[in-house]
Amino acid sequence: MSPEEQLRVLAESTRIPPIQQRLSESAEFPLRAREVEILQINVGRLCNLSCRHCHVEAGPARSETMSGETFDLCSAVIRSHPFLTVDITGGAPEMNPHLPGFVQRVAGHAARLIVRSNLVILLEPEYRHLIELFARNRVEIVGSLPDYRSGRTDAQRGGNVFARSVEAIRMLNDAGYAADGSDLALHLVHNPVGAYLPASQAALEREYRRALQESHGARFNHLFCFSNMPVGRFLDFLLRTDNYEDYLSTLSSAYNPAAAANVMCKATVSVDWEGRLFDCDFNQVLNLPVDSAAPSHIRHFDMKRLSGRRIVTANHCYGCTAGMGSSCQGATAQSKAS
């Protein structure tokens, strides 16, 4: 579906009030950005996997990929704003040929440097060397693993992905990631394999840790739980399986003012593969650029004008405000569950 069609579907849901109304009720409308703390960079939509929930609809046939020139513009921003957390995503970021050089240029200039990985790409001979490069540059790895068993992981991400992911985790462990006494962080991401919301992060983290360590000898630092956004392939899935209205109702019923108060977009600017600026990765997919009063391209990055900007919202934002909240760093509200 085109971005316009997706937005039309999201706007036409009959069983939920518009997100702007819910935000107003909790005194969060219009959502306003704070100072930018996180520069999220989507370096392209090329990926070795074609996951069934992927909001970016990434895959091996995608050709969108960030150029060296755009990477240079991002580097300049990072070097002149050393307090930024740099959060690199894709597609599979490892498949962008400019990534190694970029990591080496910005390491040490960013407060934190994060690469979101599908893990299995690191087993490919062409990309194995990146593990050592990531470790040397203190890159935090956030790896996708939707379930701690093979059935659901493989159903979402493809045959044998679970076993290969575990193998990649063990290789990262061997390089010092999540090792005792090491500051190399490896976090995992859980997202539901279907039309339901994740349970509490703490409860699932316990199960992941028990299963991965005991059965597979694989270690990680923390588990982040994401809700699936009704965007891209997951939106297609919801519509195709007649789950769309129920899922939107579930998200709306789980609207949490505390999660809305802490949405990640308030502290983030998201750069797409062409250098255009957005409030989040989902707005990239829906072609909703930052408010017109803010600079629209990384070339014109201006902290003052981006801080306090009005965040562009549509009903997909319910995905980040439901339950304990969902952000690229996991839950945003405190859980009462132990």
Q: Which residues bind another protein (CB under 8 A)?
A: 15, 147-149, 151, 190, 192, 194, 196-200, 203-204, 207, 246, 249, 253, 337-338
Q: Which residues contact 215 (CB under 8 A, 6 or more apart)?
A: none
The C-alpha atoms of residue 234 and residue 226 are separated, in whole angstroms, by 13
Question: In this complex, which beta carbon is closest to another protein, that of residue 204 or of residue 317?
Answer: 204
Question: In this complex, which beta carbon is closest to another protein, that of residue 197 or of residue 264?
Answer: 197
Give min distance, CB of 216 to another protein, in A.
16
- Please provide the DSSP assignment of 211-256 as one string: HHHHHH----S-EEE-PPPSSHHHHHHHHHTT-HHHHHHHHHHTB-
Give min distance, CB of 196 to another protein, in A.
5
Paired tokens of 18: 């518009």
Question: Which string of b and e fits 10-39 if b means at least 16 CB within 10 Å?
Answer: beebeebebbbebbeeeebbebebeebbbb
Inter-axis angle of helices 99-106 and 68-80, nearest 10: 10
Question: In this complex, which beta carbon is closest to another protein, that of residue 151 or of residue 217?
Answer: 151
Question: In this complex, which beta carbon is closest to another protein, that of residue 298 or of residue 324?
Answer: 324
Give min distance, CB of 160 to another protein, in A.
19
Give min distance, CB of 48 to another protein, in A.
26
Give min distance, CB of 230 to another protein, in A.
16
Element of type H or E holding 98: none
Question: In this complex, which beta carbon is closest to another protein, that of residue 2 or of residue 338?
Answer: 338
**For the chain, what's the residue count?**
338
Give min distance, CB of 272 to another protein, in A.
32
Give min distance, CB of 207 to another protein, in A.
6
- Residue 289 is given by DSSP the state B
The neighbouring-strand residues paired with 330 are: 327
How much of the chain is helix, strand and coil, in % rounded to 5?
40, 15, 45
Name the nearest CA neighbour of 325 among 269, 270, 266, 251.
251
The C-alpha atoms of residue 174 and residue 314 are separated, in whole angstroms, by 43
Question: In this complex, which beta carbon is closest to another protein, that of residue 77 or of residue 331?
Answer: 331
Give min distance, CB of 320 to another protein, in A.
17
Question: In this complex, which beta carbon is closest to another protein, that of residue 37 or of residue 245?
Answer: 245
The C-alpha atoms of residue 177 and residue 68 are separated, in whole angstroms, by 28
Question: In this complex, which beta carbon is closest to another protein, that of residue 222 or of residue 310?
Answer: 222
Dihedrals phi, psi of 228, to nearest 5 degrees: -75, 130
